[in-house]
Amino acid sequence: MTGMEKIQQLLEENDYSIAQVNQIRARLGDWFMAGGGPNDAYVWQQVRYLENLVKFGLVNRVSIQQREEVHHYE
């Protein structure tokens, strides 16, 4: 699993705020524009940031029902 795949998994499993998601998108967008790759250490640093938000209770986990509803509309 690449760092980007792990980020996608975390975003699907947790209810991050728009501000938190936008922050990650901006960081990674800049990283990729500078030539970074999807499995670089910087991407994994962003994974740890998202995991820490969960660990310290700053986001809620998405229920299985909520996940199924999201995938239903895709």
Alpha-carbon span 54 to 51, nearest angstrom: 5
Alpha-carbon span 59 to 74, nearest angstrom: 23
Confidence of residue 68 (pLDDT cuts 50, 70, 90): low
pLDDT of residue 62: 85
Give the burial string for 4-31 (b: 16+ CB within 10 Å, else e). bebbeebeebbebeeebeeebeeebeeb
- The pTM score is 0.83
Mean pLDDT computed over every residue of the chain: 90
pLDDT of residue 66: 60
Closest CA to 4 of 18, 60, 16, 27: 27
Quick one: average pLDDT of 60-71?
A: 68
pLDDT of residue 36: 97
Quick one: average pLDDT of 55-60?
A: 94
